[in-house]
């Protein structure tokens, strides 16, 4: 039997394809599908579809018996993707398209695709890693909250006011950490699904950056220096999101860098004077820096470097929020060693 004219094209696809006619006999099996099914692609045409498509579920039922592609309502056009087992026991994801000339006519042909289940397994592993990471990050502050609350309940009369105040301060700090992690997870979900809500308005960058630097300075012994800017135009931004971006940048520099953290503001024209003005926020540290080959990975979810903690979501959120405002973020080497992260925020016409 001469090869099907579409065979050469289908053989180049990563997924396997099995085509059957309205009579239930196979017309074509692509090379990837033949390898998966353990058959000879040249000998498959003319054989019944159930004999070629040897797929079973974990109870031993066959794909054709369960999905009956030649039966059912005339409006039925597809079989959704499902996991099935190949003859060698490995998993494959199978979907089908059911074709009719019209609703009054019987099934004309059935096209079945087979895709390796490795991608699904990798996705399952990534989801498991996500759950494990989130559980670990939530458990740490939650353990502190539970422990101090239990101590206060059990020993209230034996504790002096200073001890009670210290415990309650720690509980408040851990609660803030929990709230922030939950907010980060919600922001990640909104960025991923395109449902991020922004409320931009003319915003004074210097004021917001100054508040962030003051807040971080109060929580660390590391020096954090804000280089006073000159006159800066207002940017068009959601103030809460801009504050979140700057907070993540400065806290990351404190957590992962060394020495003094320097924050600098300046007005720039990233696309030339005719393209308008933007405000650039530069955060430098004096640590080991970030190797050039790793810089793109910094903006992926749950990326961490070293053993200094963190959820691994900060820079992913920085990238997502900055791009949502039409800005950009880059990583380079700081002049004194360490990492330099620059966020360029456009000035909107209303500003």
Range of the domain at 236: 201-346
CATH number assigned to the domain comprising residue 251: 3.30.565.10
Query: Do 188 and 240 fall into the same domain?
Result: no
Among 116, 142, 158, the domain boundary falls at: 116
Both 304 and 333 in one domain: the answer is yes
CATH number at residue 109: 3.30.450.20
Structural domains of the chain, count: 3
Q: What tokens were used for 324? A: 């949502």
Could you say which of 116, 151, 185 is where a domain stops? 116
Please give the model's pTM, rounded to 2 decimal places. 0.58
Of 142, 169, 193, the last residue of a domain is 193
**Going residue by residue through the chain (351 aa), what tens digit of pLDDT does each one get?**
555 667 788 888 889 999 999 999 999 999 999 999 999 999 999 999 999 999 998 888 999 999 999 998 888 999 998 888 988 888 889 999 999 998 889 999 999 999 887 766 666 666 666 677 677 777 778 888 888 899 899 989 888 999 889 889 888 888 887 887 788 778 888 887 778 888 889 999 999 999 999 988 887 888 899 987 778 888 989 999 999 999 989 988 888 778 889 999 998 876 554 456 889 999 998 878 888 877 777 887 766 665 555 567 778 888 889 988 889 999 988 887 788 999 998 886 543
For residue 150, the domain's CATH number is: 1.10.287.130
Looking at the fold, whether 110 and 157 belong to one and the same domain comes out as: no
Same domain, residue pair 127 and 111:
no
**Neighbour-count burial of 19, counting CB atoms closer than 10 A to its CB (0-12 exposed, 13-18 middle, 19+ buried):** buried
Q: Are residue 106 and residue 125 in the same domain, yes or no?
A: no
Q: Collapsing DSSP states into helix, strand and coil, what is residue 107?
A: strand
What length does the chain have?
351
Whether residues 125 and 98 share a domain: the answer is no
* Strand intervals (E) in 33-124: 78-85, 91-100, 107-116
Q: Of 181, 167, 33, which is closest to residue 111 (Cα–Cα)?
A: 33
Place of tokens 């670990």: 136
- Strands (E) across the chain are located at 16-21, 26-29, 78-85, 91-100, 107-116, 201-203, 224-227, 235-237, 261-268, 278-284, 328-333, 339-346
How many other C-beta atoms are found inside a 10 Å radius of the C-beta of residue 206?
Answer: 17
């Amino acid at each position: 039997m001469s090869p099907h004219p579409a065979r050469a094209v289908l053989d180049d696809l990563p997924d396997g394809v099995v085509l059957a006619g309205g009579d239930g006999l196979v017309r074509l099996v692509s090379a990837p599908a033949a390898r998966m099914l353990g058959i000879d692609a040249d000998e498959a045409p003319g054989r019944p579809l159930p004999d070629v498509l040897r797929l079973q579920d974990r109870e031993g039922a066959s794909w054709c018996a369960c999905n009956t592609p030649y039966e059912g309502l005339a409006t039925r056009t597809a079989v959704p993707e499902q996991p099935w087992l190949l003859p060698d026991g490995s998993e494959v994801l199978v979907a089908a398209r059911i074709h009719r000339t019209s609703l009054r006519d019987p099934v004309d042909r059935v096209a079945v695709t087979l895709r390796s289940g490795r991608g699904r397994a990798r996705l399952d592993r990534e989801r498991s890693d996500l759950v494990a990471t989130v559980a670990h990050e939530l458990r740490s502050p939650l353990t502190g909250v539970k422990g101090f609350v239990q101590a206060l309940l059990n020993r209230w009369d034996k504790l002096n006011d200073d001890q009670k105040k210290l415990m309650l301060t720690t509980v408040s700090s851990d609660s803030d950490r929990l709230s922030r992690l939950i907010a980060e997870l919600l922001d990640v979900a909104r960025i991923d699904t395109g449902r991020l809500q922004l409320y931009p308005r003319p915003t004074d960058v210097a004021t917001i950056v100054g508040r962030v630097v003051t807040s971080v300075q109060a929580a660390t012994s590391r020096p954090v220096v804000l280089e006073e800017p000159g006159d800066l135009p207002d940017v068009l931004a959601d103030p809460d999101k801009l504050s979140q971006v700057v907070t993540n940048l400065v806290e990351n520099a404190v957590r992962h860098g060394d020495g003094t953290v320097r924050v600098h503001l300046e007005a720039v024209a990233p696309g030339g004077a005719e393209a308008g003005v933007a405000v650039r926020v530069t955060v430098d540290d004096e640590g080991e820096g970030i190797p050039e080959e790793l810089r793109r990975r910094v903006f992926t979810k749950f990326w961490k470097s070293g053993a200094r903690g963190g959820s691994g979501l900060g820079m992913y959120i920085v990238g997502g929020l900055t791009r949502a405002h039409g800005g950009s973020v880059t990583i380079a080497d700081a002049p004194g060693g360490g990492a330099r992260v620059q966020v360029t925020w456009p000035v909107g016409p209303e500003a």
